């Protein structure tokens, strides 16, 4: 009986340790990719002040100055979502998505894929394909306005049954963080030169040079910020 109980305890402890490990992986993956996406988005906005101004006007009109942007406000900020979509198109945090394995022999694009082959989807290349996107290397959030079909070509989180389970959560995190940064602060580049948009090395493709920018609290948000 004691041996059985000990064995059961070991099994349960193993399950707990495994779950903790998986939770840690999800936490690290979710925070790093979201932080990377926010840094790319803010860098793009600093290089396109007219787009930043338009996003701020939308937030001021739909959220106001009496409270910080909250999750229910995101549905009222379509232009902000377009900015996020365009950022994820140009700089998907995981450009090769997650590796998959073919379950059977198949032919894709004229190439024979054997069962058991590891497959990598190059989202970065698809998002910049001129046969798929108009002016693919330019930052144009307006390309998503009133064009639901454009969203179906966007796959920073994969697509179908094997897509990232945290896509909705990531969109909310990035949306809330970016909305708050725009709502509460005036942002400027350090100098007249554009922010360097070179890509660094890594699974999540960070910026080669971390973003440096100047910001100051907006006067209209001083009361809200002072209460934090």
The rounded distance, in Å, linking the Cα atoms of 193 and 213 is 12
SS3 letters across 12-56: HHHHHHHHHHHHHHHHHHHHHHHHHHHHHHHHHHHHCHHHHHHHH
Which residues, in sequence order, are bridge partners of residue 188?
214
The rounded distance, in Å, linking the Cα atoms of 106 and 210 is 42
Any idea what DSSP says for residue 193? S
The rounded distance, in Å, linking the Cα atoms of 151 and 92 is 14
What 3-state class would DSSP assign to 179? helix
The rounded distance, in Å, linking the Cα atoms of 62 and 172 is 17
Q: Catalytic amino acids?
A: 33, 157, 164
In this structure, what token pair is assigned to residue 166?
């945290």
Nearest-CA neighbor of 140 among 187, 188, 82?
A: 82
């Amino acid at each position: 009986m004691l041996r059985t109980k000990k064995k059961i305890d070991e099994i349960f402890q193993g399950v707990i340790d495994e779950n903790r490990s998986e939770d840690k992986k999800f936490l690290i993956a979710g925070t790093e990719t979201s932080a990377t996406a926010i840094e790319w988005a803010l860098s793009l906005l600093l290089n396109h002040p007219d787009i930043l101004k338009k996003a701020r006007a939308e937030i001021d009109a739909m959220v106001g100055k009496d409270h910080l942007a909250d999750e229910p406000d995101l549905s009222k900020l379509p232009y902000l979502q377009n900015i996020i979509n365009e950022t994820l198109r140009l700089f998907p945090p995981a450009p090769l998505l997650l590796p998959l394995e073919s379950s059977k022999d198949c032919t894709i694009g004229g190439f024979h894929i054997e069962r058991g082959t590891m497959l990598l989807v190059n989202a970065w290349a698809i998002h910049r394909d001129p046969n798929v996107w108009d002016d693919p290397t330019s930052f144009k959030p307006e390309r998503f306005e009133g064009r639901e079909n454009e969203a179906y070509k966007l796959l920073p989180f994969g697509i179908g049954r094997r897509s990232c389970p945290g896509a909705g959560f990531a969109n909310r995190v990035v949306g809330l963080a970016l909305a708050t940064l725009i709502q509460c602060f005036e942002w400027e580049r350090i100098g007249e030169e554009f922010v360097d948009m070179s890509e660094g090395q890594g699974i999540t493709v960070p910026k080669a040079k971390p973003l440096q920018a100047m910001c100051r609290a907006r006067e209209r948000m001083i009361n809200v910020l002072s209460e934090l």
